[in-house]
Amino acid sequence: MKLSTSALLASSIVSANGASLSLLNDLLDIVPILSPGPSSTSTDPNQYVNLFLGADGGGHVFPGPTLPFGMVKMGIDVINSAAGDAYSGYAPDGQVDGISMMHESGTGGAPEYGVVAQLPLTGNVNLAIDNSQPRPDNASIGYYQIFLQNGVEVEFAPTAHAGIYHYTFPADQAANVVVNITHHLRAPSRPYWTQYFTGGNVAVSSDLSQYTGESTFKGGWGEQGDWSIYFCGQFDTPAKSVSSFVGQASSSSLTASSSSQDQAAGVIFTFPDGATDVNSRVGISFLSTDQACANLAAEINHYDVQTTTSQALDAWQSEVFDKVTADTSNSTIATMLYSSLYATHLLPSNRTGENPLWTSSEPYYDDWFTIWDIFRCLTPLYNIMNPDHASGMVRGLIDTYKNNGYMPDARSANQNGRTQGGSNADIVLADAYIKNIGQGEINWNDGYSAMVKDAEVQPPNNNDPFAPDSSTKEGRGALPDWLKYGYITRNYTRSVTRTMEYAMDDFGLSVVAQGLGKTADYQKYLNRSANWRNIWNPEASAKGYSYKGFIQPRNSDGTFNNTNYDPMSCGGCYWGDDEYEGKPVEYGFAVPHDIATLVEYAGGDQTFIKRLDDMFGVYGGAVLGDIGNEPSFLTPFLYNFVNAQYKTVETTRYLINNHFNSGNSGLPGNSDA
Ligand SMILES: *[C@@H]1O[C@H](CO)[C@@H](O)[C@H](O)[C@H]1NC(C)=O
Ligand SMILES: *[C@@H]1O[C@H](CO)[C@@H](O)[C@H](O)[C@H]1NC(C)=O
Ligand SMILES: *[C@@H]1O[C@H](CO)[C@@H](O)[C@H](O)[C@H]1NC(C)=O
Ligand SMILES: *[C@@H]1O[C@H](CO)[C@@H](O)[C@H](O)[C@H]1NC(C)=O
Ligand SMILES: *[C@@H]1O[C@H](CO)[C@@H](O)[C@H](O)[C@H]1NC(C)=O
Ligand SMILES: *[C@@H]1O[C@H](CO)[C@@H](O)[C@H](O)[C@H]1NC(C)=O
Ligand SMILES: *[C@@H]1O[C@H](CO)[C@@H](O)[C@H](O)[C@H]1NC(C)=O
């Protein structure tokens, strides 16, 4: 299958008054062209993929090499960066204190993983890390190269569950590789969400060429309990000596650790004098050291980085790039498109066969970081572009419900958490259902049960200090209000966000219920999906805006609550506020299932268009929407519902040209997967 994106790539920006025939032509082209048959000779996607697009400027995109949805994501881990905590491991400056096997991409909450690391050091090692800038990195698909300040060049490449390193040491220095089993990413600026090392061990083979062991960590944005990762490392050159270390070294660059739980421990391989080229390969597993070694043996039986790189490139070609043809001569646009396609295939991670918690023949995906970030646009794209993975994801979500009790809204290190608004896996499933993903592989009775659990059973409170009212782990924390009043009162945090998302989620249930012939449920959840209307206050107004009517927090007695309410503000916009990361005026548009009613409430077609015009600044005036954050991602497309399609074209092009670019800071916010 090929998707032609020629129309989306047509580069001319049409001025506000220029709704023209050429636009109409573009719109006619926008329908994806699905052509059967083999893909044409594809161009090398490296020509257009900038792996660093969004890695800087707060985008936190992971630039290291990996496979599509790969479990192993190899990358450098940087500390003391002027850019702040390194959420994906990478930062444009600062010191490299490890090159590790697992990362997330684009997250904004706090860093996770950065585990199973190696670090090359030269000379008479005292564990002083001196790998500051300039440290030019080169990255291409399936390949990373870094020149460390200490003179060591490192190249590395990944398979699904293993990775390979090639070190070139300066000839006149002793060559060492540190295996730091406590290594992990930290969040010095958000210590309450940092990870901790809680235990581990490492054993070295008698010929000093291999090591195996395990490390256990806890903490992170999802406030995970203990989880363990096992590793199996090999060198092509046996060391001449191996020493172990426990505790911090004296160098000031190593004193960032603030907890006694967070000590350094590991082993240092020192290679024979004159060794300049040293190769290593490492397998990892969530199951056991034996499985880590088996994964390594199955996936890398050589020490050639290029071989592994070209296998990775092949996987990216067949799973992603062969499916999309961009007819554009504009290389800026092509770079933005291809780099975004790349970056949107990093999470979740395919962990099938690597689930330590239960035995199942179903696929398993972890690193939903997070569904709240991707259910609006990205999982629907997977359902079109990558139905095999999409089916596996849905089956994995359903299996997680069956074995853990709930589907996640976010999940990492095999544990659910955190839920930001609704139980949006309901939308992931509903979209897969209507697109007939999985073609019989998905047990929809179980899938529907998972959705009903979200919609009917309140999860136990995990007593989150940021939102003590109800669960942030999974499910719908504010369910009692939803069932009693048909909206969430301010007795619960994020009352407006939850009301809007629970309505959308219930629409997801109605879609699947209808398809399964559950007519009563279909009616019930369709009814509940209209509950967002309960918090629409037709009298609500905002200074400077002629139109009236916005969503607003509502009390249990039915009156609207005016305390600290402004449709144009979300206060702190965080866990304890009425709206999470979006203003009432933004969340008010978030009813893709009920647009006809929204248009009517908004004052009819012309006022609706005027309201949309005020969102992104395309037509001068207000800029009420934030295209750098998810709640407004669907809004530019709403013109399509009132026969103003040309304004969707103008708006999306304006946003692309004004808020995105092909550079390393090319995203207007965290990429959020
Ligand atoms: C990156 O790779 C290219 C192509 O191999 C090479 O010419 C260039 O010197 C490398 N850049 C750095 C900073 O090493
Ligand atoms: C080992 O990792 C820990 C945790 O990331 C870090 O604090 C310490 O500096 C590292 N030590 C070495 C020698 O790499
Ligand atoms: C290519 O696209 C970019 C982004 O839309 C635009 O700024 C630039 O003018 C275009 N270049 C050409 C030659 O059309
Ligand atoms: C997911 O991973 C498993 C185990 O490596 C593999 O067999 C399966 O093909 C992967 N799924 C897809 C859709 O590639
Ligand atoms: C749907 O809601 C309407 C009123 O809001 C109510 O009359 C009707 O009984 C509801 N239907 C179901 C199936 O709950
Ligand atoms: C919170 O719940 C209490 C008890 O049900 C109720 O009296 C109160 O009005 C509610 N607060 C709001 C803001 O609705
Ligand atoms: C309005 O909201 C405030 C702040 O949440 C709350 O303290 C107050 O009780 C609410 N008013 C009513 C009438 O429930």
Nearest Cα residue to atom 8 of ligand 5: 527
Name the residue with higher pLDDT: 35 or 124: 124
Cα of 457 to ligand 7 centre, how many Å? 26
Between CA 427 and CA 405 the distance in angstroms is 18
Q: Is 555 in the pocket of ligand 7 (CB under 6 A)?
A: yes
Between CA 6 and CA 97 the distance in angstroms is 44
Between CA 612 and CA 609 the distance in angstroms is 5
Report percent pLDDT > 90 for the chain. 85
In 252-386, which ranges are continuous DSSP H helix? 289-299, 305-319, 331-343, 371-374, 378-385
Q: Is 527 in the pocket of ligand 5 (CB under 6 A)?
A: yes
Q: Which two tokens stand for residue 197?
A: 């090392």
Cα of 458 to ligand 4 centre, how many Å? 33
Q: Is 350 in the pocket of ligand 4 (CB under 6 A)?
A: yes
Nearest Cα residue to atom 10 of ligand 3: 330
The alpha carbon torsion through 165, 169, 175, 181 (nearest 10 deg) reads -30
Of 563, 647, 659, which Cα lies nearest the Cα of 606? 647
Buried b (16+ CB within 10 A) or exposed e, 411-448: bbbbbbbbbbbbbbbbbbbbbbbeeebbeeebbbeebb
Q: Is 441 in the pocket of ligand 4 (CB under 6 A)?
A: no
Residue in 8, 9, 11 to alter for ligand 3 test, most ligand atoms within 8 A of Cβ: 11
Residues β-bridged to residue 117: 100
Nearest Cα residue to atom 13 of ligand 1: 136
Q: Which two tokens stand for residue 189?
A: 């600026």
pLDDT tens profile 364-380 = 999 999 999 999 999 99
Which atom of ligand 4 is least distant from the CA of 353?
4
Ligand 6: which residues within 6 Å by Cβ? 489-491, 555-556
Question: In the chain, what are the domains?
Answer: 5-32+368-659 (1.20.1610.10), 75-315 (2.70.98.10)
Cα of 183 to ligand 1 centre, how many Å? 29
pLDDT tens profile 165-211 = 999 999 999 999 999 999 999 999 999 999 999 999 999 999 999 99
The verdict on whether omega for the bond into residue 348 sits within 30 degrees of 0, i.e. cis, is yes
Q: Which two tokens stand for residue 436?
A: 């007939």
Name the residue with higher pLDDT: 349 or 149: 349
Residue 92 clears pLDDT 60, i.e. is over it: yes
What's the average model confidence in pLDDT over 467-472? 98
What's the average model confidence in pLDDT over 114-133? 77
Cα of 222 to ligand 7 centre, how many Å? 30
Between CA 282 and CA 210 the distance in angstroms is 9
Cα of 556 to ligand 6 centre, how many Å? 5
Cα of 180 to ligand 2 centre, how many Å? 6
Count of helices and strands (H, E) across the chain? 17, 22
Q: How confident is the model at residue 136 (pLDDT cuts 50, 70, 90)?
A: confident
- Read off the amino acid at residue 387: P
Structural element, H or E, at residue 221: none
Q: Is 570 left (phi over 0), alpha (psi -120 to 50) or beta?
A: alpha
List of E strands, 418-524: none
What pLDDT shows up at residue 37? 33
Ligand 2: which residues within 6 Å by Cβ? 97, 119, 127, 178, 180, 182-184, 249, 254, 256-257, 262, 264
What is the Rg, in whole angstroms, of the alpha carbon atoms belonging to the chain? 26
Between CA 70 and CA 125 the distance in angstroms is 34
What pLDDT shows up at residue 150? 87
Smallest-distance ligand from the CA of 363: 4
Name the residue with higher pLDDT: 498 or 25: 498
Of 258, 308, 337, which Cα lies nearest the Cα of 79? 258
What pLDDT shows up at residue 42? 57
Q: Is 561 in the pocket of ligand 7 (CB under 6 A)?
A: yes
Cα of 316 to ligand 4 centre, how many Å? 14
Cα of 334 to ligand 3 centre, how many Å? 10
The CA angle 625-627-629, to the nearest 5 degrees, is: 100
User: Beta strands 241-246 and 265-270: pairing type?
Assistant: antiparallel
What pLDDT shows up at residue 131? 57
What pLDDT shows up at residue 439? 86
Q: Is 523 in the pocket of ligand 5 (CB under 6 A)?
A: yes
Of 669, 662, 646, which Cα lies nearest the Cα of 26? 646
Of 186, 182, 178, which Cα lies nearest the Cα of 118? 178
Residue in 491, 493, 495, 555 to alter for ligand 7 test, most ligand atoms within 8 A of Cβ: 555
Nearest Cα residue to atom 2 of ligand 2: 183
User: Beta strands 324-325 and 3-4: pairing type?
Assistant: parallel
Q: Is 491 in the pocket of ligand 5 (CB under 6 A)?
A: no
What's the average model confidence in pLDDT over 650-662? 97
- Average pLDDT of the chain? 90
Smallest-distance ligand from the CA of 510: 5
pTM of the model: 0.92
What pLDDT shows up at residue 245? 85
Q: How confident is the model at residue 436 (pLDDT cuts 50, 70, 90)?
A: very high
Smallest-distance ligand from the CA of 533: 5
What's the average model confidence in pLDDT over 493-497? 98
DSSP 8-state class, residue 43? P
pLDDT tens profile 389-422 = 999 999 999 999 999 999 999 999 999 999 999 9
What pLDDT shows up at residue 129? 58
Which atom of ligand 7 is least distant from the CA of 556?
14
Q: How confident is the model at residue 132 (pLDDT cuts 50, 70, 90)?
A: low
Q: Is 524 in the pocket of ligand 5 (CB under 6 A)?
A: yes
Smallest-distance ligand from the CA of 555: 6
Name the residue with higher pLDDT: 159 or 265: 159
Q: Is 136 in the pocket of ligand 1 (CB under 6 A)?
A: yes
What pLDDT shows up at residue 326? 78
Between CA 429 and CA 434 the distance in angstroms is 9
Cα of 183 to ligand 2 centre, how many Å? 5
Cα of 37 to ligand 2 centre, how many Å? 52
What pLDDT shows up at residue 551? 98
Q: Is 319 in the pocket of ligand 4 (CB under 6 A)?
A: no
Nearest Cα residue to atom 1 of ligand 7: 561
Tell me what percent of the chain is helix, strand and coil, each rounded to the nearest 5: 30, 20, 50
What pLDDT shows up at residue 130? 55
Q: How confident is the model at residue 263 (pLDDT cuts 50, 70, 90)?
A: low
Residue in 78, 79, 127, 257 to alter for ligand 2 test, most ligand atoms within 8 A of Cβ: 257
Residue in 14, 328, 332 to alter for ligand 3 test, most ligand atoms within 8 A of Cβ: 332
What pLDDT shows up at residue 81? 92
Cα of 523 to ligand 5 centre, how many Å? 8
